[in-house]
Amino acid sequence: MNNDRTNTCNKDWKKIARASGMAIPDSALDRIAQSLDALEADFRPLVRALPPDTEPAIAFHAVLPAAAHQEAHQEAEDAE
């Protein structure tokens, strides 16, 4: 297993999306891949600066602010 976080190999975002079971049209995948490549390039120097015992996060959980949560809940109730 290669733990070298400075590896700059390009990821094939389309293959990753398909392997994950995501049904995204090729035209959208092209746009998304460009954005992900740019993010990868921006974050790569930051990853290099992490201490060796720190692992980058591999998953993020979105949390709605309380006001947005209340608004979504109200919309769901109104729809019933």
Q: Is residue 59 one of the residues assigned to a domain?
A: yes
80 residues of the chain, pLDDT tens digit each? 344 444 456 788 888 888 988 888 888 988 999 999 999 899 888 888 888 888 767 776 666 666 666 776 677 777 76
The whole-model pTM stands at: 0.50
In a domain, 7, yes or no: no
Look at the alpha carbons of 48, 51, 53, 55 in this order and tell me if their dihedral is positive or negative.
negative
Q: Does 8 reside within a domain? A: no
Specify the number of domains making up the chain: 1
35: domain range?
13-79
Q: Which residues contact 29 (CB under 8 A, 6 or more apart)?
A: 13, 14, 17
Instruction: Express each pLDDT in 25-37 by its tens digit.
Output: 888 988 999 999 9
Residue with tokens 């297993």: 1
